[in-house]
Chain A
């Protein structure tokens, strides 16, 4: 079942043209290096076994660094297999702005945090709401608009989204 959900998530990301790769915690740094363009900013991932400390990403950036960053790295609390959505929870460390301002967003999600559908994600979120963590966004693919008469990607949000799935040990 779990592998099916991961495969479905990967396939949805494929439909969205969102590149994705799976890695063990040990291979994380290498995977990340492949996906980021510098300068990069990030927020602490809170995922056991991996960290941004040893990478080139700036944590707690200045506002200039946020504006200049080419890549923002954040954790995703969940991945939603049906649509390839990422559930990004607001955090004091800046998950919302870091996933939104730079033109590329690299999201890191644990394999075990991939759920089949939006309804499953909402159920999980219900518990978070009860615990007082009540802000999150389902982000699916890249920011886009048709308002100028044709579809254009990368409007106010990122034009390029990539996902790293960290395999559970």
Chain B
């Protein structure tokens, strides 16, 4: 990426932060909080998620067969099923149906799939009036904008925004001011159009193969009206929405609203097996009976392929087809919460999963623009009702984009320095961050000179220009004596134990930069009677993986496992300080290693405070640890939370009598290299400011964070020293 492109990207993000950021933040965080509450109150949540996942896996596996079952049942009900290869095919078919119905007005309910095929434009080109009846979509239609969110398409707009827009567009006698006035106006305006329409078009959240049923999940009631008021009903949806039968629907009804908005159930969950036996409605003659039971209803179900069947064959993208479009991955994403779908989205889809959808339906170029906004923080992983590994899809697509990239004139320079497994064409910025370990090694050997050089303005200038490393960020300062060297120099372990041996994993940051927290960890573990070993082990591959350098990450994963295997075989536990590295061992390595190797490492690895908690539970003396610095403000780490490990740190603090307040943001906004990138620096700071605000009143407390990135971000935001929990717990005078 050229520095010009970076500047343009930064400017676009800045503009959206200023114009739409506030409204997006308010709405997405509201949905997100409501989701947490709803899930907490729903006892069977995990079991139902597993059930939904299994049903989707099976349905996508059996898709061709289900399509045929569906065709039979739709026809048996008296409707027609059409499978459209692509957008043009779908639009041609829909155009013909509208034409045959003599339709000059079509009313629609919200459907992302019709956004994908741009059916409105296609119909309008044939002089058909098309009206969006979902109020959010109606706002966008008037504003001529694209949706910024899967569920709340216009949530980037405030009431005042919409009032301005409608006052200009509709020029009412009394200008609109309130949400009530706007809603009432839109309802009446659209009500007239629904009653006059010849064709109603809806999407379908789920389609049931063996009964020919479409399921519509809405809150407004417009989809019901669009489906039954006009005589002709066209339902348009993706071919992946098919479920085998009614008995498979339960988990999805239980999950979709909770995940989307935190409601237990949406206002209207309609199951239509059209043509329905509801009477047709004739509003043209006011005196005639409204219900004509002999009226002829016609129904067309249009299922769109548009790349989906190819996604089904693509081992990595296939999971995308399980998506039920609830938007939880967007709502739980810190970057999305701040910038919204107009930056974090492609031609049609928005949020984390948009990378999968865009790559599948619009082509990988459409994902290129926003794919880097996924930092891999993994908060969406527990939010997704069908357990899609959204960060992994983003990583895979990033990897594919890396292999496609334009060659850079500086490749020859970097390749000699950074022997990774990636193609020569790889973007320089990604290569630099992906190979942080090499940089850290060299930097440490030559410290402090390396730090002076890296800090000098011509070098920072060049790094900014060539690699987009933002000059406003302070670079890590490498330590001459690494943790591994220090440990060897002190003569290895100070405590011998036949009970418990821990290998303290020297992650790249702890080893070369934040050496103090490594020493503190040794101190804490030894104080609790654990024999500690710190062998020289390579980086986990987190840095290259986050840049989409999967081959390099895979090779790291193998090296790490090979190196740690014999310690594990000998009965040692692996203790990890940096949560993002532990997340590699426990989550990401599943994708990179053979199952046996993954199981071995993941089952024997512990986050350091998780380990301390276990030791205390098993009788280690809490008195051995410090409780001096008693007032703390603690920020856990995104990946640590996804693994459910934040509770251990809090529990240990509590046991030792600390007074702790905790943050409740999804991510600090730094996310490894993300906050260093000049195109994302401002977004990163904006995301961070939410965290900063939560601790701004905690000036009398010591700021504590588990992750390196979080510490860097908090240091920048609060201009204060930030400590790792083990540094708090380490007994004085180690």
Contact = CB atoms under 8 A, between A and B. Distances in A.
Does A associate with B in a complex?
yes
A166 interface: no
A83 B211 CA distance: 26
Interface in B212-244: 212-213, 219-222, 224-225, 228-229
Interface stretch (A2-10, A48-56, A107-115, A130-138): A130-138
A169 interface: no
Contacts of A150: 159, 178-179
B261 to A, nearest CB: 8
B271 A156 contact: no
A147 B154 contact: yes
A33 interface: no
A83 B264 contact: yes
Contact of B135 (A67, A118, A148): A148
Interface stretch (B181-189, B371-379, B403-411, B518-526): B181-189
Given A135-B272, A156-B220, A125 B285 contact: no
A97 B158 CA distance: 32
Contacts of A67: 195, 283, 286
A71 interface: no
B183 A63 contact: no
B221 A63 contact: no
B332 interface: no
Nearest to A122: B250
Given A62-B290, A63-B283, A150-B159, A118 B253 contact: yes
A120 B291 CA distance: 32
Contacts of A129: 211, 213, 246, 273
Nearest to A128: B246
B222 A156 contact: yes
Interface string B252-277: 01100000000011111111111011
B278 A148 contact: no
Contact of B222 (A65, A151, A155): A155
B573 interface: no
A143 to B, nearest CB: 4
Interface in A138-164: 138-152, 154-158
Nearest to A95: B278
Nearest to A59: B291
Interface in B141-182: 152, 154-155, 157-162, 178-180, 182
B293 interface: yes
A52 to B, nearest CB: 15
Contacts of B27: 146
Contact of A139 (B183, B187, B267, B272): B267
Interface string A65-100: 111000000000000001101000011111111001
A103 to B, nearest CB: 10
A91 B278 contact: yes
A26 interface: no
Contacts of A142: 267
A100 B291 contact: no
A152 B269 contact: no
B191 interface: yes
B282 interface: yes
B293 A118 contact: no
B290 A118 contact: no
B5 interface: no
Contact of A83 (B186, B247, B265): B265
A156 B187 contact: yes
Which interface residue of A93, A100, A140, A148 has the most chain B CB atoms within 10 A? Answer: A148
Contacts of A96: 224, 228, 276, 278
A61 interface: yes
B159 to A, nearest CB: 3
B279 interface: yes
A148 B159 contact: yes
Interface string B124-149: 00000000011110110000000000
A21 B392 CA distance: 52
Contact of A90 (B157, B212, B278, B287): B278
Q: Which 9 A-B pairs have the closest CB atoms?
A: A157-B221, A149-B159, A134-B273, A64-B286, A147-B135, A150-B179, A147-B136, A156-B221, A148-B179
Interface of B: 23, 27, 77, 133-136, 138-139, 152, 154-155, 157-162, 178-180, 182-183, 186-187, 190-191, 194-195, 211-213, 219-222, 224-225, 228-229, 246-247, 249-250, 253-254, 264-274, 276-279, 281-291, 293
8 contacts: A61-B291, A62-B289, A63-B284, A63-B288, A135-B273, A139-B268, A156-B190, A157-B267
Given A145-B135, A146-B152, 8 more contacts: A63-B288, A90-B278, A118-B253, A125-B246, A129-B213, A144-B219, A149-B158, A156-B190
